[in-house]
Structure 1
Amino acid sequence: MRMGKCVGISLLVALMAALTCVHAGAEEGTQAVTLQDVVVTATRTATPERAVGVSHTVITEEEIQARRAADVPELLRDVAGITLVRYGSQGAQSVVFPRGGENNYTMVMIDGVQVNLGGGDFYWETLSLDNIERIEIIRGPQSALYGSDAIGGVIQIFTKSGYGPPSVELSTAHGARSENGSYLGEQHLRVSGGNERMGFSVAYGRIDDQGALDINNDYWNNSLSARFDLYPKDNWEVTLTGRLNDSRYEYPTESVGDKYSPLDPDQYEREMDTVVGLSTRVQTTSWWENVLSVGYHRNDRKIEDPYNPETDYSSWRGEYDESRTNFDYHANLKASPVDWASSTVTLGYEHERETYEQESTDFTTTTLGADRTNDAFYAQEQLSLFKRVHLVGGARVEDNSAFGTEVSPRGSIAVDIHETGTKLRAAVGKGIKEPTFYENFADDAWTLGNKDLDPEKAVSWEVGVDQRLWSDRLTMSVTYFQSRYKDLIAYVPTPYPAPAVRTPNYFNVQEAESRGVELSLTVKPMENLVLGSSYTFLDTEVTDDGGLANIAFEEGKELIRRPRHSASGWIDWQWRRLRTFVKGRYVGKRDDADYRDWTAPKRVELKDYFVLDATMSYKVPVPAPLKDMELFVKGSNILDEDYEEVFGYTAPGASFMAGLSFRL
């Protein structure tokens, strides 16, 4: 629908123009620092936002509620510097490209526990928003604090804590897709409470989606999340968190998507993801804080593809089990020898063990089992001068059983000009990403892993300015960044005729670069109205293809599926009991790969597109014991835009849901 896209783009441009012209009404007084004014992930300490020198975004509970998103990927689409791509409808594989980096370049953490697979992959599509309080996105290499897989950034999810008298929250929503009337459903339940010595928050969620395709496209996801906080003493806190995701996604697509190949009626993927974290924080003295944490993550995934003569050469079955156990201790040492200077030194040690098991069956059965360990020491100095110049420097030394020893440094500066509401900032750092288990240890009829692989590396720098005006009713942020990626791991085919002794198929032979500009703008012209926008310009280039002539990684060309231009704009308006949230998202043209003819694959250009979503809710007056009740409706892609995020894969059309939520 080209007309729909033109109308949508016009709306988005008008919104962004309005944001630059709108004026604030009443003045706001100075507020004390709250959780929303603090960033934790950037330094591992609660740091005032004005002192953070790296580019970051915080998605608050209020923003999550306004959008009524089903999962985390839906929120990440609006973040500057993030490109999120989904291979079809809800439940399909979803990947994140941070600042043009690869889709396994973002470390993902839930309450301090890393949940990536070995080598950086993460299944975003199964991460629902149940019991999530806030999300922090830190852009650029963060390996100095977090090690391997934080090569392009860190996204950390924080679970809600319980407080106050026990309460129950319940939400139910039902709807349909426009393509075929397929059912959509979301059910959520949360129980929470707490006092000065303890708190608890337990939530369950269920998502059902019968899919945008007519054949074998159902998806369901069960999510159970819990958090327990204990405060034995005023200077001592203990937190136990856990999250369990159980999902099943039916997908009929083969190697070239659903548009250009027959659809498989039986193929599906089942996944169980488990996260458990235990941490304790003790303020031993006024200047010495101890933080100890233990984390466990396990991902069990099964793919079943029974034989169908129309689509398969044989039946296929694969089971993949990965786990990570993590132990971390760090001390925060604070000092303020003079009034105009303060320091926080962080010293830490981390031990990590990863395991991997794989079994696949087609004509034969292939198994693979391996494990890796990693020991790391890290140090960081945060120095603040005159309460306006904030310096951060640090480094991490990794000793990995697979790739050996690596050192990752970083540094940043933030200059806070109180009088004008301006913050100038700059950062530079190195990031690393370990190989996947398959790249290291594969040993089957087609592929031999390479145990001598180095980690992939990135060196990145950025400069930016943040501006607050009209008593913080208007906030703006502009960032320029450059990243260079080297030692990228590529599959190198076995030469023909094959040598007498097998040689590995993976080597560090490729390089790439990315550079760009990130803009974000938020305006609150009146107490009940918030307008926001973000824009990303991204320029990527393959600088060395390793001599492999791969169209998906072609020297001198852009990296595929990364648009040069992308933007979002939104309006959040409340009038009495009615709340309306409207969001538009534009994604520009970008290259992709067409593998319909495997003997002669080619590059194709995907068209730009615009998607418009809207949510409306109404608070219903209720008697006790009910505390709140809301009726809401939600529309996704309401202009029914026809587009592709990945070549050959159908993106979902319009869908609508209606629901009810209340609190006891």
Structure 2
Amino acid sequence: MIRSHALPLAGLLLALLSAPASAARLTGTVTSGDGHPVSDARVVLESPTGPVASTRTDRTGAYLLDAPDGDYVLRVVAEGFSGPSQRVQLTGAAATLDIRVDVAALAESVVVTAGLAPVTRSGTGASLTVLDQTELRARQLESSVDALRSVPGLAVLRSGGRGAVTSLFPRGGESDFTLVLVDGIRLNDMGGSFDAAHLPLFDLDRIEVVRGPQSALYGTDAVGGVVQLVTRRGGPFSAGGLFEAGSFGTWRANGTANGTTGRFRWGGGVERLASDGFTGTAPGTGEVVSNDDYTRTDATVSLGYQGDRLLLSGLLRAGDNTRGVPGPYGSDPNDTYAGVDRVSRNDNRTLAAGASATWRLRPAAQVRGAFSLADRDSTYLSIYTPDTPTASGNRLYSGRGSFDLAWLGVAWTAGGEYMRERAQSAYFTGLENQEIPVDRTQVGAFGEGRFERGRLALQGGLRYERVVRDALEGNRSVFSPRPPFAASTTSVVNPRLSVSYRLLGGDTTWLRLRGNFGTGMRAPGAFEIAFTDNPGLKPERTRSIDGGVETGWFGGRLIVDAVYFRNEYDDLIVTVARVPGTTSYRSDNISNALAEGVEGTVSFRPTAFMTVRGGVVGQRTEILANDGRPVAPSPFTVGDPLLRRPELAGFADVILTAGRTSGFVRVDSRGDTQDIDPSFGANAGIFTNPGYLTVDAGASWRVLERVEVFGRALNLLDTDYEEIFGFPALGRSVMVGVRVAASR
């Protein structure tokens, strides 16, 4: 019996391994409708299981791709342009295919974040935003967090100026509900917390954002969405440098390079940013603020190898930043402001490293594997302990393997992932007041099917997640004693379903319907574990649905998108101080909340020289009753809105290009939010943080073929506002600089 089954399996394996070794070369040019070459366009050759090869066009619009013999789909991704995909058959000989693209409001994109294998933007029903390098450069952005303000439904809140703690709130979710990746490497601390203030932009090809729960793909922490930074490597050789300086004693300098050498693709760069921050007087006491400075240094190196069957890639990314922490020196509703903190300071050192391999058995079958390390070490110097900085850190090892197969018209992916986390802090102590770590292991098994035929595209996936927390020694703290915790295991299954249907399909006008359903989870964080007496804390959960319609007009020059979403958050962890009838622990999974709303975006590109984009979000959030009692966590009542979630927010961008000059105008608006006393928290009262409107504008001029000068004004109207109550944002500032580029 065993032998009878083994022989067919062996035959199947030999057939897969006997893929032809011959390779072919595909060349051509990419031009716009008026015949001009399109440079720096991304050209992707896809098999049924995903991209096989990719490159970028040079200054003349030319591209070159090497791939094994087979049938493929060729796609061109160029910011501001769109063109139909092309079917290509390679048979060992050199082939040529010239491609024409037309002006469009949104380019077709091949994204790596919305599925277990890369998918196209039009081939998924996910709520997806892709921010391309061309757009990011045109708006003269200096950090990734500034770019994320153009993602509808993702509220970005910064507690002050550059480098201040910055949180992401996805569709009414919590600030630890967004998973952040760089080339697949997880950057979040244990429990999902992440400070987005220190994400550079200089080395990126694009930013991909998927809204809605993605735990079926990524497991814990992907409760409300995923942000992925995709680094730039390969393509024709290019190098560049930038220097800029301006208000608040701010300057920034960077240098980057990328290219292809034979079968190797490479890229890298380094950046340094420094700012004095706000050095004026605090509104409450008139004291001079002298501890708002910020310095950040980042470096990255990436390398890839593209063989006939084997694809390899590696990334090393390191960063170091330091910032003063002057505290809340703005709004002070209870008149409790204690003065400017001139001592407190936070220092962070980060390292992200990863390697991945893809072995193509045949165009319809491949094996993938990846390994990564993310490490963060921080010290915090407090006004209360000026001579003894408090240390903390988080380290995550991850290994992942999967198998892709195209079968019966469906692209299938199945695999598993192993993660090991360790969180440390001077505040995590044992019986002898010694520092002890919080350790956790996560094991996930996942599968997904992707079907696309005609106007219909379907994605369905499932992930089983097993989270094991190691035993934890107790402590005898007077304020928060913890009994010893035995090791605990939690298992969760998260499904996901996505559908897209092109109701009307044409090159000039279309109407696409899409929808999603999914669940998400966030396992308890290290601080939640270390400071509870509850050994049975469970993951927080969400159930989410969204549905929308996208319509395109005038050959794709005008695109309008509207989405309705509803998120139900269950088992939220709150501190309850043993409220009778609710729980016997200090903290427990008893809180619940609801968020629902509508996102609308408009993209309009009437000519190749002008792009107009805007977005608006209207949402309603509500605190629901605790499990077991018809009350909400103190000091809230049932029906209160969630803190720091605006009911209404929007943005608009206009980008103009004419010959050697270009310019942009950006408008951001946010309505009122509910927030807490900046000094003593929610128990000292809930207050209204007024909404605001800000305007940014800038222009650039290419004085020589390789030299560009530019300038921008941020907060042009000098608006006084606070994204987080009590922490003033910076006033009007001006930055000017020069950019130098080289390529061949």
Q: Classify the secondary structure of the residue corresponding to 2:739.
A: strand
For 1:187 and 1:596, how far apart are their aligned partners in 2?
Answer: 36
For 2:684 and 2:383, how far apart are their aligned partners in 1?
Answer: 28
- Is 1:84 the counterpart of 2:84 in the alignment? no
Equivalent of residue 372 in structure 1, options 420, 440, 443:
440
2:672 maps to: 589
2:610 maps to: 529
1:23 maps to: none
For 2:718 and 2:325, how far apart are their aligned partners in 1?
Answer: 22
Higher relative contact order (CA 8 A, sep 6+): 1
For 1:198 and 1:361, how far apart are their aligned partners in 2?
Answer: 45
2:600 maps to: 519
Equivalent of residue 454 in structure 1, options 524, 538, 541:
538
Equivalent of residue 426 in structure 1, options 499, 504, 515:
515
Amino acid in structure 1 at the alignment position of 2:577? P
Q: Please report how far the alpha carbon of residue 621 of structure 1 lies from its aligned counterpart in structure 2 after TM superposition.
A: 2.1
Q: Deviations over 1:253-280 (max 9, x none)?
A: 1699889330111110000111001011
Q: Please report how far the alpha carbon of residue 545 of structure 1 lies from its aligned counterpart in structure 2 after TM superposition.
A: 4.6
- Aligned pairs for 1:188-267 within 5 A: 188-213=254-279, 214-231=289-306, 233-253=307-327, 260-267=337-344
Q: Classify the secondary structure of the residue corresponding to 2:150.
A: coil
2:664 touches 2:698 (CA, 8 Å); kept in 1? yes
Equivalent of residue 348 in structure 1, options 392, 415, 418:
415
Equivalent of residue 173 in structure 1, options 219, 240, 244:
244
Structure 2 CA distance for partners of 1:80 and 1:39, relative to 1, 3 Å = same
Q: Please report how far the alpha carbon of residue 495 of structure 1 lies from its aligned counterpart in structure 2 after TM superposition.
A: 8.1
1:4 maps to: none
Q: Deviations over 1:154-211 (max 9, x none)?
A: 111100013324x4311000001xxxxx201111111222134002111101111111
- Aligned pairs for 1:419-568 within 5 A: 419=506, 420-440=509-529, 442=530, 447-493=531-577, 504-545=585-626, 550=633, 553-568=636-651
- Is 1:571 the counterpart of 2:654 in the alignment? yes
2:58 maps to: none
Q: Please report how far the alpha carbon of residue 463 of structure 1 lies from its aligned counterpart in structure 2 after TM superposition.
A: 0.5
Structure 2 CA distance for partners of 1:94 and 1:66, relative to 1, 3 Å = same
- Is 1:276 the counterpart of 2:357 in the alignment? no
1:358 maps to: 425
Q: Deviations over 1:212-231 (max 9, x none)?
A: 24321100000101110112
For 1:560 and 1:45, how far apart are their aligned partners in 2?
Answer: 36
Equivalent of residue 160 in structure 1, options 213, 221, 232:
232
Q: Classify the secondary structure of the residue corresponding to 1:274.
A: strand
Q: Classify the secondary structure of the residue corresponding to 2:577.
A: coil
Q: Deviations over 1:619-661 (max 9, x none)?
A: 1124xxxxx2110001110110011111111111111110001
Q: Deviations over 1:60-89 (max 9, x none)?
A: 111111111111111111210110100000
- Aligned pairs for 1:88-103 within 5 A: 88-103=160-175
1:551 touches 1:602 (CA, 8 Å); kept in 2? no
For 1:77 and 1:49, how far apart are their aligned partners in 2?
Answer: 20
For 1:657 and 1:203, how far apart are their aligned partners in 2?
Answer: 22
Equivalent of residue 297 in structure 1, options 370, 374, 380:
374
- Is 1:405 the counterpart of 2:488 in the alignment? no
2:676 touches 2:682 (CA, 8 Å); kept in 1? no
For 1:278 and 1:119, how far apart are their aligned partners in 2?
Answer: 24
Structure 2 CA distance for partners of 1:129 and 1:449, relative to 1, 3 Å = farther
1:36 touches 1:60 (CA, 8 Å); kept in 2? no
Q: Deviations over 1:476-499 (max 9, x none)?
A: 111000000000011233689xxx
For 1:254 and 1:492, how far apart are their aligned partners in 2?
Answer: 26
Equivalent of residue 105 in structure 1, options 163, 170, 177:
177
Normalising by structure 2, we get a TM-score of: 0.78
Q: Classify the secondary structure of the residue corresponding to 2:217.
A: helix
Structure 2 CA distance for partners of 1:29 and 1:294, relative to 1, 3 Å = closer
Q: Please report how far the alpha carbon of residue 555 of structure 1 lies from its aligned counterpart in structure 2 after TM superposition.
A: 2.3
Amino acid in structure 2 at the alignment position of 1:594? D
- Is 1:42 the counterpart of 2:137 in the alignment? no
Q: Classify the secondary structure of the residue corresponding to 1:368.
A: coil
For 2:611 and 2:266, how far apart are their aligned partners in 1?
Answer: 32
For 1:585 and 1:277, how far apart are their aligned partners in 2?
Answer: 36
Structure 2 CA distance for partners of 1:348 and 1:642, relative to 1, 3 Å = same
Paired-residue identity, %:
27
2:244 touches 2:737 (CA, 8 Å); kept in 1? yes
- Is 1:146 the counterpart of 2:210 in the alignment? no
For 1:471 and 1:411, how far apart are their aligned partners in 2?
Answer: 30
Amino acid in structure 2 at the alignment position of 1:197? R
For 1:504 and 1:205, how far apart are their aligned partners in 2?
Answer: 47
Compute the RMSD of aligned alpha carbons: 2.5
Q: Please report how far the alpha carbon of residue 367 of structure 1 lies from its aligned counterpart in structure 2 after TM superposition.
A: 2.2
Structure 2 CA distance for partners of 1:287 and 1:68, relative to 1, 3 Å = same
- Aligned pairs for 1:313-324 within 5 A: 317-324=389-396
Structure 2 CA distance for partners of 1:433 and 1:41, relative to 1, 3 Å = same
1:625 maps to: none
For 2:361 and 2:257, how far apart are their aligned partners in 1?
Answer: 33
1:553 touches 1:559 (CA, 8 Å); kept in 2? no
For 2:374 and 2:680, how far apart are their aligned partners in 1?
Answer: 40
The unaligned stretches of length 5 or more in structure 2 are: 1-79, 87-100, 102-106, 280-288, 470-488
Equivalent of residue 327 in structure 1, options 399, 409, 417:
399
Normalising by structure 1, we get a TM-score of: 0.87
For 2:682 and 2:194, how far apart are their aligned partners in 1?
Answer: 31
Q: Please report how far the alpha carbon of residue 532 of structure 1 lies from its aligned counterpart in structure 2 after TM superposition.
A: 0.6
Q: Classify the secondary structure of the residue corresponding to 1:620.
A: strand
Amino acid in structure 1 at the alignment position of 2:374? H
For 1:301 and 1:507, how far apart are their aligned partners in 2?
Answer: 28
For 2:731 and 2:465, how far apart are their aligned partners in 1?
Answer: 46
2:473 maps to: none
Q: Classify the secondary structure of the residue corresponding to 1:601.
A: strand
For 2:136 and 2:681, how far apart are their aligned partners in 1?
Answer: 43
1:414 maps to: 500
Amino acid in structure 2 at the alignment position of 1:381? G
Amino acid in structure 2 at the alignment position of 1:601? A
For 2:632 and 2:457, how far apart are their aligned partners in 1?
Answer: 46
